[in-house]
Structure 1
Amino acid sequence: MAARAEDLLPVEYFHMVFTLPAEIARIAYWNKRSVYGLLFKASAQTVLTIAADPKRMDARVGMTSVLHTWGSALTHHPHIHMIVPGGGLSPSGNRWVACKPGFFLHVRVLSRLFRRLFIEGLLALHRSGELVFFGDLAELSEPQAFTTYLAPLRKIEWVVVAPEARLRHDAKPPFGGPEAVIAYLSRYTHRVAISNSRLISADANTVAFRWKDYRVKSGGKRAVMRLSTSEFIRRFLIHVLPDRFHRIRHYGLLASSGRKANIAKVRALLGVQIAEQNSNPPVTNAIPLTLREPCPGCGGQMRIIETFLRGQKPQSRAPPRKVAA
């Protein structure tokens, strides 16, 4: 979180959500790496393209995207939570272009471009043989059947939730300042499909947990769901991501390759004074912090022996690794 705090700007932030239709989620179930990757790419490209339109903001924006794959009942519900600063750099790069207070981009415009970009990307994945199909979807291996399956999805409105509180009852309110962004990231970026606080009971046969039915429009209906233990495990494992798949990604001004320079430029344009940080953090005699997780090698307790800022070189050295004969 400290690294992300360094990247925040003193502007309004917006929370957007891009959701896949259930018909696409069925394809994603068997093709997580390809379809989730496309979800990241299409949603980011949607915002970058519309924000850069001279009729909209005419600005180069940035965003942090977080993948969630679950609904409240642990069902498969892939969607992207996107955190976007309220503005961007002008095409010339010498001016900060702020969006209207409390409003970022039109939901309907976002939804339709997202739909087109995603379907085009999905067809490209199919042509390149990167999708697999099983069970009642096996026939979609044929190009014509796949095209026919996608045809109705070109006509429906895809769910994109953005801060248009005056127009939509389900709109996400603007985040406000950077502090709210940090609070969100600390709560949600590394969460799993269900937290311990929602669990009520569990035994060899049944697991009970709290859930919220979002189909009920008046704030959602809270209830208790009871599943067989095997079904609970099945639903939980749906949300295990492919090996080395990154569920948090940054795009545009916040892309890793140019983030540091872009943020420095924006801060200069906004006239923000950044306090210099001490490159040598003070040494304290506090009791070393310990980690809850045991050492994977010996099972003993692990202690934090040093902390250092991003970009600093650690002073401590790891013990030599034993090489098997």
Structure 2
Amino acid sequence: MRRPKLEVADIFRAHGPAYRQKHAGHLNLPQLKVMSAIEACRTAALGGHVAACTKCDHQHIAYNSCRNRHCPKCQGAASRDWMQARVEDLLPVEYFHAVFTLPTQIADIAFQNKAAVYGLLFKASAQTLLTIAADPKHLGARIGMTSVLHTWGSAMTHHPHAHVIVPGGGLSPDGARWIACRPGFFLPVKVLSRLFRRLFLEGLARLHKAGKLTFFGDLSELADPDMFAAHLAPLRKVNWVVYAKPPFGGPEAVLAYLSRYTHRVAISNHRLISADAGTVTFRWKDYRIKRGDRMKVMRLPISEFIRRFLIHVLPSGFHRIRHTGFMANGIRRDKIEKIRHLIGTVPRPDQTTGEDRRSDSDERDPRQTCPKCGGEMRVIETFTRGQTPKSRAPPWDAAA
């Protein structure tokens, strides 16, 4: 993949110091760490190595990546490793995709209580699917799922929602049979929406009662229990958005989807168009348009662009990919093996897709071949932070 002409790192390097100075005291430690990591990514500040071609005289310097999970350039390798592990979990069944979205009034609370409310989003959406699937009136089975948190819309605004990938069926209550869902249909969306609304609001009320929510600014009055209850009351009467997408074309399509979504960040470098002293221009998709070209161009002041990027920095230690039911960590391998036995299939060792090796990130392949002759590149020197390589080779350029 060719290196983009403009990167988030370029914007942060040029305007990050001024932004930090202007907003001193208003940025939390995870946000400051993300800015510093992105600014230093693939620069001499992180060290690197010198590679030489085994066939010709070409040499180049490759600087280390920051490996921060919010860096647009560093998700490719993490995504590939994660996806390779998921190949072993695929079942030869239909897969479904559900999206659970928080109303705007809740999203505002989530913005001030990320770990608590995002965690509740994971818990409520998973419990909704597990409960309805276990009901004999619907599927009557114990299911499994993989959930991925996204907190942004295409314009980088705050839009928390969970993408949930679910195999089309589950284990019978006694674990002796595989119960498949109806072809092309998993669970009724309206039933999911109502239960999700109830479970989430009940969970949010418990968090408030336990003193685990904080409020400031325009939401400060919600610290009062009566005001908080009044704020939530209208939300009990409106429909919450639970969207069930058409089933995937097969297990391979699931991998293709996950390779694009699991390690995505708020904006990829390839969506950036230009940046000057005051404005950043980028492409975004307007989902309000039902027909025609959804791709639009947005221009934001530099400070607003940086602000929108940073509001999606997750709390330290917060997991944005989670597995539940028979897909839960610790039991997944045994359950998958049992399900394959019940279905009467064996895993395919070559179950990969062409797309699972690509992503929206700009992570380069560590096995880079020589740009001059195509020969194998080998590391001949390494250097750490603060060191200068002995070689006079030029820095590695993906566009070369």
TM over 0.5: yes
| Preserved CA contact (<8 Å) 2:100 2:241 | yes
Aligned to 2:336, what secondary structure does the other structure show? helix
Of 175, 178, 182, 2:251 maps to: 178
Aligned to 1:42: 124
- Superposed displacement of residue 155, structure 1: 0.4
- Superposed displacement of residue 249, structure 1: 0.3
- Superposed displacement of residue 289, structure 1: 7.8
For residues 76-111 of structure 1, give each alpha carbon's deviation from its aligned partner in whole angstroms, at most 9, with x where no partner exists. 000000000000000011110000111100000000
| Preserved CA contact (<8 Å) 1:193 1:236 | yes
Aligned to 1:7, what secondary structure does the other structure show? coil
Amino acid of the structure 2 residue aligned with 1:214? Y
Q: How far apart are the structure 1 equivalents of 2:293 and 2:197?
A: 27
Of 169, 173, 183, 1:101 maps to: 183
- Superposed displacement of residue 177, structure 1: 1.2
**In the alignment, is residue 194 of structure 1 matched against residue 194 of structure 2?**
no
Aligned to 1:239: 312
Of 132, 143, 166, 1:84 maps to: 166
Q: How far apart are the structure 2 equivalents of 1:175 and 1:244?
A: 31
Q: How far apart are the structure 1 equivalents of 2:314 and 2:349?
A: 39
For residues 172-206 of structure 1, give each alpha carbon's deviation from its aligned partner in whole angstroms, at most 9, with x where no partner exists. 11112110111111111101001112111012210
**In the alignment, is residue 4 of structure 1 matched against residue 86 of structure 2?**
yes
1:27-38 pair list within 5 angstroms: 27-38=109-120
Aligned to 1:182, what secondary structure does the other structure show? helix
- Superposed displacement of residue 296, structure 1: 5.8
Which structure carries more relative contact order (alpha carbon 8 Å, separation 6+)? Answer: 2
Q: Aligned in 2, Cα 1:260/1:77: closer, same or farther, shift over 3 Å? A: same
Equivalent pairs counted in the alignment come to: 280
Q: Aligned in 2, Cα 1:246/1:219: closer, same or farther, shift over 3 Å? A: farther
Aligned to 2:238, what secondary structure does the other structure show? coil
| Preserved CA contact (<8 Å) 2:271 2:282 | yes
Aligned to 2:124, what secondary structure does the other structure show? helix
Amino acid of the structure 1 residue aligned with 2:208? H
After TM superposition, the structure 1 stretch with the greater mean CA deviation from structure 2, 214-223 or 239-248, is 214-223
Aligned to 2:154: 72
**In the alignment, is residue 120 of structure 1 matched against residue 202 of structure 2?**
yes
- Superposed displacement of residue 274, structure 1: 3.7
Amino acid of the structure 2 residue aligned with 1:5? V
Q: Aligned in 2, Cα 1:66/1:289: closer, same or farther, shift over 3 Å? A: farther
| Preserved CA contact (<8 Å) 2:221 2:227 | yes
Q: Aligned in 2, Cα 1:257/1:287: closer, same or farther, shift over 3 Å? A: same
| Superposition TM-score, scaled by structure 1 size | 0.82
Amino acid of the structure 2 residue aligned with 1:78? P
Of 223, 238, 245, 1:156 maps to: 238
Q: How far apart are the structure 1 equivalents of 2:294 and 2:268?
A: 19
Aligned to 2:288: 215
**In the alignment, is residue 251 of structure 1 matched against residue 324 of structure 2?**
yes
Q: Aligned in 2, Cα 1:145/1:209: closer, same or farther, shift over 3 Å? A: same
Aligned to 1:81, what secondary structure does the other structure show? strand
Kindly report the root-mean-square deviation, in angstroms, between the aligned alpha carbons of the 2 structures.
Answer: 1.9
| Preserved CA contact (<8 Å) 2:133 2:187 | yes
Sequence identity of aligned pairs in percent? 69
Aligned to 2:302: 229
| Preserved CA contact (<8 Å) 2:88 2:347 | no
Q: Aligned in 2, Cα 1:299/1:155: closer, same or farther, shift over 3 Å? A: farther
Q: Aligned in 2, Cα 1:135/1:289: closer, same or farther, shift over 3 Å? A: farther
Q: How far apart are the structure 2 equivalents of 1:210 and 1:102?
A: 34
Q: How far apart are the structure 2 equivalents of 1:29 and 1:37?
A: 13
- Superposed displacement of residue 217, structure 1: 2.5
Amino acid of the structure 2 residue aligned with 1:194? I
Q: How far apart are the structure 1 equivalents of 2:145 and 2:330?
A: 14
| Preserved CA contact (<8 Å) 2:132 2:192 | yes
Q: Aligned in 2, Cα 1:138/1:95: closer, same or farther, shift over 3 Å? A: same
Q: How far apart are the structure 2 equivalents of 1:123 and 1:289?
A: 58
Aligned to 2:249, what secondary structure does the other structure show? coil
| Superposition TM-score, scaled by structure 2 size | 0.67
Q: Aligned in 2, Cα 1:149/1:264: closer, same or farther, shift over 3 Å? A: same
- Superposed displacement of residue 2, structure 1: 1.2
Q: Aligned in 2, Cα 1:216/1:47: closer, same or farther, shift over 3 Å? A: same
Q: How far apart are the structure 1 equivalents of 2:388 and 2:188?
A: 53
